[in-house]
Structure 1
């Protein structure tokens, strides 16, 4: 077992916090490992590494003691995942029983989350495709991922393969994207209940007479058939812990705001006492003018009566 060490410096605490599970995940890195392999499987691992070059780490040394589906055979995978901080791994091996075998899996908190084992058939490397090299997608472009076929909705093993391929190929999730930054597309076609054809194409934008350009796909490779052999779903407790979202995070209480029975917001607004007696009035107020006018008219009406009263007396 690994010895648990408490970080003693702020830098070590920040580094552990970066590696800890997050509610909102950033881009996932892929670890590519190999055991006893063939020439074809080495080419497959090399092509996968080139497709994921910006977020992938490859070990070329043979690790024959890795057996992900056996008890105790996943210890090395968890160790390498923790060492490289990779949450997705691809392990290639070949044997008489399972030739040209790929095991693709995901980890959560450096523990094996799920696994799927596929066999590679009808592989074609990128160099075997003839196309204009100027159309090759640039490094860093975001991919489209297309899944064709009813099998991805009806077959459990293809549903699982779809989830794993999405996590491995999509890269970092972004909210806004420029159309010019989309340079490639991965096309996954369900041929049967356990076979998927995967190919990599470049996107070419042409004029269409409207704002949205016309899109053409040019196959640039690699391409291969993935035959599902075995798969293992995560257990319920680990799935529940890994599927936590930001809604589970306690919200910060807002002052003077409550909710009614319908779910609407009710706010309390506090206004300071208005001291009307101390308010400064303008010099030429209309109300004062009217009062002076009325007082003047009243005094003018009373003056003749007083004079006549004096004469009579």
Structure 2
């Protein structure tokens, strides 16, 4: 039988509460690992990725012989590190003769491997190799723009999967409102072919345009690299269905007879009940209505007296005829 450990101190209890599922999750943490063998290029790539996500990343510099993401049984150590560091994203770098400068980017759900994308890195340039004004350098923790150029991101399955993983890796915490002053960089991904993507980071330089909206210029600040897609593994259908569930507290209830228009806004239909005016009670009694009622009452009284007089006369006639 499995033994369930309970926290023995308040510190351990708070640590477990932080890892519990929440309605609004914080930014996803990234685990950066080295394989059995890595080249100087891969070491630089992993260091640059850690620098871009320094506010929300954990980097291990020790070699990991047992981590092999695409092989059966090679995911046990990876899932253990994911559980230990509470990371839901991971970047794994390795180098071999068959797959030189190999970079594996993946996601986990409930600390189990969800999906994987393997790319080969070519023509890598670090941030130190670019010369630019340091005043426009992107700040750590700022929200980035993403620009995906090319039809391959909509038509090719491998590039569509790579797009989802890159967005999840670099977007950070999901927010509803943004301050324009904090938008100082953009990631540009260009699909050159069905399996090759040019990736680079650019800084945003704001200039005067004569209007309220400033003019934007892109300055390449690095890092930049060519990503060649080698292998990818999509998530299992059952696991994907479970991961896509939304808490009932976050789902909005459907409003009946309500539509939304971008121009007119919120529109609704109202169905009032049928009003019975005959039985409706009036809050006041007008004088005209009182006069009509008095006249009707007097007329009814006169008609009643006339009928009684005729009835009495008829009875007298009948009595005289009988005598």
Q: TM-score, normalized by length of structure 1?
A: 0.77
Query: Do the aligned residues in 2 keep the contact of 1:66 with 1:73 (CA within 8 Å)?
Result: yes
Which structure has the larger Rg over C-alpha atoms?
2
Task: Report what 2:211 is aligned to.
Answer: 210
Task: Report what 2:39 is aligned to.
Answer: 38
Task: Report what 1:19 is aligned to.
Answer: 19
Task: Report what 2:230 is aligned to.
Answer: 229
Task: Report what 1:101 is aligned to.
Answer: 102
Q: How many residues align?
A: 263
**Cα pair distance change 1:191/1:4, threshold 3 Å:** farther
Deviation at 1:63, TM superposition (A): 0.4
Structure-2 separation of matches of 1:11 and 1:131: 46
Q: Could you list the runs of 5+ residues in structure 2 that have no partner in the other structure?
A: 259-267, 272-323
Classify the secondary structure of the residue corresponding to 1:142: coil
Query: Do the aligned residues in 1 keep the contact of 2:53 with 2:140 (CA within 8 Å)?
Result: no
Task: Report what 1:72 is aligned to.
Answer: 73
Deviation at 1:235, TM superposition (A): 0.6
Query: Do the aligned residues in 2 keep the contact of 1:20 with 1:109 (CA within 8 Å)?
Result: no
Deviation at 1:40, TM superposition (A): 0.8
Task: Report what 2:192 is aligned to.
Answer: 191
Task: Report what 2:49 is aligned to.
Answer: 48
Structure-2 separation of matches of 1:42 and 1:129: 18
Deviation at 1:211, TM superposition (A): 0.9
Structure-2 separation of matches of 1:168 and 1:193: 22
**Cα pair distance change 1:125/1:246, threshold 3 Å:** same
Q: Could you list the runs of 5+ residues in structure 1 that have no partner in the other structure?
A: 253-258, 267-313
Q: TM-score, normalized by length of structure 2?
A: 0.75
Deviation at 1:250, TM superposition (A): 8.5
Q: Mapping of 1:99-178 within 5 angstroms?
A: 99-178=100-179
Structure-1 separation of matches of 2:55 and 2:142: 11
Structure-2 separation of matches of 1:117 and 1:260: 47
Deviation at 1:14, TM superposition (A): 4.5
Structure-1 separation of matches of 2:109 and 2:23: 12
Query: Do the aligned residues in 1 keep the contact of 2:138 with 2:185 (CA within 8 Å)?
Result: yes
Structure-1 separation of matches of 2:183 and 2:49: 19
Structure-1 separation of matches of 2:211 and 2:251: 47
Classify the secondary structure of the residue corresponding to 1:192: coil
